[in-house]
Amino acid sequence: MKKFLIKLSYTVLPVWLLLVGLATYLWMTDDNSGDLMRLGLIDTGPEYSDSIRANLLPQVYFKSIDNDSLLSVDTCDVLVIGDSFSHGGGVGKQGDYVNCLAHDSQRSVVLYTPQDPTLSSPMQIAYDVLDLGLIDSTHVTNLVVQEVERYIVSRHCGFRSDPNRTILSSGTQAAQQPATIDEKRQDVSPLLRVKDFMFYHLFGANPIYKVKLSSPMFGGKEPDRLYFYNEDVKLGIDVDSAQRQQVVNCYRHVIDKARKRGVNLVLLVACDKYDMYQNIIVDNPYPAKTLNEDIRRWMSPGELDCFVFAKDVLHPLVEQRVRDVYLFNDTHWSPASSHIIAREVINKLK
C-alpha cells in the first residue's frame, strides 16, 4: 500500500494538481478580456478593458423589456431589436450604441429582448412584432433593427412570413439560431475549458484567429495584431443566388410590413471585425468579404433609404488609422464608435 501511495504521489497527483491549477487560472482570468479572449482562452489582462471602460456613459438611459404584453403597452419614440451589438456586447450597456442613442437623442428608447433565446433573429422578431400588431396601440414612431454581418445569410434563409410559422406569442420553439460567442462558452465545466485550453494551445485549433496589421490600430500591448472570430471568414463569404434572393426577400418583407404599419424603419448592419480590417492585414491568407457591398447592390435605392451600414460609417476611420474603432479583445465596436453609430441612426429617425 505504501509503495502504491508513493507511486501515486509522483504520477497521478502532479497531473491532478496541474489540472486544478490550470482550471483555477482560467477561472481567475476569465473576465479580464472581451468575448474573443474568453472563447479563445487568451489572457490579455484587465488593463485594456479598464482603459476602454474609463470612457463609458455614467448610466444606462434606455429601458429593456422581454415580454410581449409589456411591449404592447409601452409607448416609446424608438424601439430597438437586435443581437449582441444592441445588448451590451463589448464593455456592457453603458458603452452600447443603444445607450448613446437614448442619451444623445434625448428620446425614449426601448430595447426588446424576447424571453425565448431561440428567437434570436432580429429580422424575424421585427417582422412578427409588426405582423402581430404588438406596437399598433403604442404609437412607436421608429423601429431600429440591428444584425451582425456574419449571421445575415443564415438568419435570413431561416426567415418565415407564412401565416402558420412560429410567432412570438405561440409559446413553441422557433428554428434554432446561431449561438453567439459567449453563448458557446456558457455553462462549460472547468475541466472542459482546461481541455479546450490544451487543445487550442498545443494543437493550434483555436477558434480565434490572430493576424498582423500593417499599422498599429489598437491600444494595449499588441497594437498591430488583429484578433477575430473564425466564423467571420466562414460565414457570408460565398453566397449563392438562392441565398441572395432569401436575404433580399427577408429585407423586403420587413420593409413592406413597416411601411404598411406606418413605422419608420432603420436597418443597422453591424460589420464583422475581419471585414472592417481585412484590407490592412499583412499577407492576408483569407478570402475577401464583400457582403456589405453586395447588400447595397442587391437592394433598390428606395429600400436602401432604410439602411445604416456600420462599415460605411466606421471604415473611413480605419483608413485614417484611428485606433480602437473596434475593440482589440472583442468582436464589437468600441464605445467611441457607439456614439458615431448612434449619430447615424439618429439622422434616420422621424
Q: Which residues pair with 142 in a beta bridge?
A: 78, 264
Contacts of 141 (CB under 8 A, 6+ apart): 77, 78, 263, 264, 349, 350
In angstroms, the CA 18 to CA 152 distance is: 42
- The answer to the question of residue 17 being in a domain is no
Would 9 be classed as within a structural domain?
Answer: no
Domain that holds residue 146: 31-348
Q: Which three cell numbers stand for residue 131?
A: 405582423
pLDDT at position 185 is: 54
DSSP bridge pairs for 146? 268
Confirm whether 10 is domain-assigned: no
Q: Letter for the amino acid at 9? A: S
Domain count, the chain: 1
Q: Give, for all 350 residues of the chain, the pLDDT tens digit.
A: 556 545 545 555 465 455 555 555 555 555 557 888 888 777 777 788 888 888 899 999 999 998 888 888 888 999 999 999 999 988 899 999 999 999 999 999 999 988 765 567 999 999 999 998 989 888 899 999 999 999 999 999 999 998 877 677 443 344 455 666 655 555 556 656 666 666 666 666 789 999 999 999 999 899 999 999 999 999 999 999 999 999 999 999 999 999 999 999 999 999 999 999 999 999 999 999 999 999 999 999 999 999 999 999 999 999 999 999 999 999 999 999 999 999 999 999 99
Half-sphere exposure of 101 (CA within 13 A, CB side): 29
Residue 231 lies in a domain: yes
Is residue 14 a part of any domain in this protein? Answer: no
For residue 48, what are the CA distances in angstroms to 33, 218, 223, 289, 315?
8, 9, 11, 28, 22
Residue with cell 428554428: 175
For residue 303, tell me if it sits in a domain. Answer: yes
Q: Tell me, what DSSP letter sits at residue 67?
A: -
Residue 128 counted as domain residue: yes
**CB atoms near residue 133 (< 10 Å):** 10
pTM (2 decimals)? 0.86
Note the maximum CA span of the chain.
83
pLDDT in tens, 179-225: 666 555 555 566 566 666 666 666 667 899 999 999 999 998 999 99
Q: State residue 343 phi and psi, 5-degree precision.
A: -65, -40
Question: Domain for residue 15, yes or no?
Answer: no
pLDDT per position as a tens digit, 131-177: 989 898 888 999 999 999 999 999 999 999 988 776 774 433 444 55
Would you give the end-to-end CA distance of the chain in angstroms?
A: 81
